[in-house]
């Protein structure tokens, strides 16, 4: 197997050793990736050359179930041809830059708000895969937060007060926040 993970942050995020995820078939290797996801929350796999179909094939092998009809795919087809892939872009299905008044462009603006992927769905998403096809040279940072560490650093009295509570995440609320 030979798959290793190098920690990139004190509480979360690790980079995987060189592996082509399209070739990962072995149950032990898939389980090692799952365990690393549970430990680090975010894994970086550099240099992946997924087609949309290959990414979906790996995601299905990895977790078995994919959320469909997520995000704007409920309203209109995306350029990737599968509702399990969310297109977070300013490029339309025709390959052209979307106009400032385009519905898709307005919809993806909400991604700039802090959010947890698929937390508004039931069942909520366990994993998300982010694959960048084109990354601008500047102002393209994706930020992540380790909510486990945030929870662990709460005072004990606060954690006890939160026990047994459930949170409802509303996609409508985040969209409404933008107006």
For the stretch 5-27, pLDDT in tens is 999 999 899 999 989 999 998 89
Indicate whether 60 belongs to any domain.
Answer: no
Instruction: Note whether 102 and 145 are same-domain residues.
Output: yes
How many domains in the chain? Answer: 2
Nearest alpha-carbon partner for 2 in 25, 22, 19, 14: 19
81's torsion region: left (phi>0), alpha (psi -120 to 50) or beta? left
Mean pLDDT (whole number) for 112-136: 74
Residue 61 belongs to a domain: no
Amino acid 17: pLDDT? 92
Do 39 and 70 share a domain, yes or no?
no
Do 45 and 70 fall into the same domain? no
**Are both 43 and 74 inside the same structural domain?**
no
Q: Would the pLDDT of 146 be above 70?
A: yes
Residue 54 lies in a domain: no
Q: Is residue 34 in some structural domain?
A: yes
| C-alpha distances out from residue 137 to 130, 142, 171, Å | 17, 13, 30
Residue 92 domain boundaries = 66-177
Is the residue at 126 inside a domain?
yes
Higher-confidence position of 37 and 168 = 37
Looking at residue 75, its pLDDT comes to 62
Given pLDDT bands bounded at 50, 70 and 90, which one contains residue 99? confident
CA distance 137 to 143: 16
Residues 107 and 138 in one domain: yes
Other Cβ atoms closer than 10 A to 104 = 22
Which of 169, 164, 87, 81 lies closest to 125, judged by CA? 169
């Amino acid at each position: 197997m030979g798959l290793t993970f190098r920690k990139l942050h004190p509480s979360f995020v690790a980079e995987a050793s060189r592996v082509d995820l399209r070739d990962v078939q072995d149950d032990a290797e898939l389980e090692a990736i799952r365990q690393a996801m549970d430990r680090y929350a975010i894994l970086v796999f550099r240099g992946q050359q997924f087609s949309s179909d290959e990414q979906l094939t790996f995601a299905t092998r990895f977790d078995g179930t994919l959320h469909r009809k997520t995000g704007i795919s409920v309203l209109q087809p995306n350029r990737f041809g599968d509702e399990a892939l969310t297109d977070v872009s300013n490029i339309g299905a025709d390959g052209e830059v979307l106009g400032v008044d385009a519905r898709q462009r307005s919809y993806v603006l909400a991604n700039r708000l802090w959010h947890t992927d698929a937390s508004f769905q039931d069942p909520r998403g366990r994993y998300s895969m982010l694959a960048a096809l084109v990354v601008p040279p500047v102002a393209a940072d994706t930020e992540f937060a380790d909510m486990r560490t945030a929870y662990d650093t709460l005072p004990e009295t606060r954690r006890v007060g939160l026990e047994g509570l459930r949170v409802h995440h509303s996609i409508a609320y985040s969209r409404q926040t933008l107006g």
